[in-house]
Structure 1
Amino acid sequence: MERVLVIAPHPDDELLGCGGTLLRHLAEGDAVHWLIVTRMTPETGFDPTAIEGRERLIETVAEAVGFTGVHRLDLPTTRLDTLPVAGIVSAMAGVVDTVRPTVVYLPWAEDVHTDHQVAATAARACTKWFRHPSVSRVLAYETLSETDFVLPPGRPFTPNYFVDIEPHLARKLELLTLYQEELGDFPFPRSPTAVEALARVRGAACGCRAAEAFQLLKAVRRRPPTDGQ
């Protein structure tokens, strides 16, 4: 059984980037943990009603997806670039120590949103084998409205790892509607039409009817443990 940790700078990134893959992990009996890096606060411009609504939404999404665990860093949304990265790494490492993931999904480091950039930098620091030896695979996911807006000289997202999500695509699209305030009508990038279109394009690239694409950043194939080790 795999222990999966998906690192989401904001709620909705987990479904946009790898919702179908997470559903497949769960269907295959894997443990899937959701780490939410940021939180709405009055200091970041959100009123109490919006904050309470977001907290209820997170609970709803967690139950609907069936996450094994939900973990929160509660850092200020849209402000990660104002915080010392070392502190973010320390907080994130605590979650990695608790979950002991074998697979980590993180945002693409070149996403245009600075929260994504900082979260990706901190996450990569939490995958060193001598500090977190459980981690065998690290994959970066793409987030519509962030990854697709990278401009030169930024590095474009170049996937080299694909996951067939055809059996889970409909459920992914259904779950995304829980984030209604984050969605818009096509051609808005965070629209059900755009999400499905991307899944079809990624599927066509790998011979599947629908897929999610990743950049594989690290993969370790360890030998089975032997007596005395």
Structure 2
Amino acid sequence: MKDILVVAPHADDEVLGCGGSLLKWKSEGHRLHWLLVTKVHEQVGFDTAQQEIREREINTISEFFGFETVNCLDFPSAQLDQVSDRELIAAIANVIKSVEPSDVLLPFWADAHTDHFVTFAAASACTKTFRYRHVKRVLAYETLSETDFGFYPNQTFQPNLFVDISRHLKGKLDAMGMYPSELGTHPFPRSEKSIAALATLRGTQAGTEAAEAFMIIKEREL
């Protein structure tokens, strides 16, 4: 039985990036944990009503996936690049030390959103083998509307691990439906059609009906 921690810069990244895999791993008896790095604040354009809606969405998602722990940091969304590296790394490290995950799932470093890059850099610093012996595998997931819109030269998402989510694609779509404000109609990237299409493409690459793709950052066996 593993303790698997998904690190999400924003609420919905955990569903878009690895929602189907989380459901699969949960069905196999593994323990799931969620670290949500940012929070919507009035200072970044979210009024009180919107903040309350997001809190309800987070609670609903937490129950849906059956997370053992949910840690919500209080950093403002879209402003992570203004947070000191020391402060962000310390906050993430505290969670990783508490959860002691064997697997850590991170956003891809070359995503279009700066919050994703900052999250990857800070969280990856909290997976050093000599400090965090319990971390055995670190994976980067792809996020529709971010990974596919990243334009860093020679920094494209190149998956080398595929997880069969054929039995859990519907669950992933159901979970995304719990974020109605984040969904749109095709060709909007965060649409049910787009999510299903990416799962179908990754499934084709993996030789299955539907899949999610990851890049292995590091993996070790003891």
The match for 2:96 is: 96
2: CA distance, partners of 1:6 / 1:62 = 12
2: CA distance, partners of 1:54 / 1:78 = 16
Is 2:203–2:212's contact at 8 Å kept on the other side of the alignment?
Answer: yes
1:144 maps to a residue whose letter is L
2: CA distance, partners of 1:150 / 1:112 = 4
2: CA distance, partners of 1:196 / 1:68 = 27
2: CA distance, partners of 1:192 / 1:126 = 34
Aligned positions of 1:105-144 closer than 5 A: 105-144=105-144
2: CA distance, partners of 1:150 / 1:55 = 29
Is 1:162–1:213's contact at 8 Å kept on the other side of the alignment?
Answer: yes
Is 1:71–1:95's contact at 8 Å kept on the other side of the alignment?
Answer: yes
Q: Is 1:23 matched up with 2:23?
A: yes
The match for 1:206 is: 206
The match for 2:7 is: 7
2: CA distance, partners of 1:158 / 1:46 = 35
Q: Is 1:62 matched up with 2:31?
A: no
2: CA distance, partners of 1:83 / 1:117 = 13
2: CA distance, partners of 1:163 / 1:74 = 31
2:169 maps to a residue whose letter is L
TM-score, normalisation: structure 2 = 0.98
Q: Report how far residue 66 of structure 1 moved.
A: 1.2
1: CA distance, partners of 2:166 / 2:196 = 10
Q: Is 1:176 matched up with 2:176?
A: yes
| Identical residues among aligned pairs (%) | 50
Aligned positions of 1:68-83 closer than 5 A: 68-83=68-83
2: CA distance, partners of 1:45 / 1:171 = 31
Is 1:136–1:219's contact at 8 Å kept on the other side of the alignment?
Answer: yes
Superposed CA RMSD in Å reads 0.8
Is 2:108–2:117's contact at 8 Å kept on the other side of the alignment?
Answer: yes
Q: Report how far residue 106 of structure 1 moved.
A: 0.3
Aligned length: 222
Is 1:8–1:34's contact at 8 Å kept on the other side of the alignment?
Answer: yes
1: CA distance, partners of 2:142 / 2:34 = 17
The match for 2:50 is: 50
SS of residue paired to 2:140: strand
The match for 1:167 is: 167
2:108 maps to a residue whose letter is W
The match for 1:146 is: 146
Is 1:110–1:154's contact at 8 Å kept on the other side of the alignment?
Answer: no
TM-score, normalisation: structure 1 = 0.95
When residues 83 and 166 of structure 1 are mapped into structure 2, their CA distance, relative to the original with a 3 A threshold, is: same
Can you list the C-alpha shifts for 1:139-182, whole angstroms capped at 9, x where unaligned? 00000000001124250100000000101111111111011100
1: CA distance, partners of 2:64 / 2:128 = 32
Is 1:31–1:68's contact at 8 Å kept on the other side of the alignment?
Answer: yes
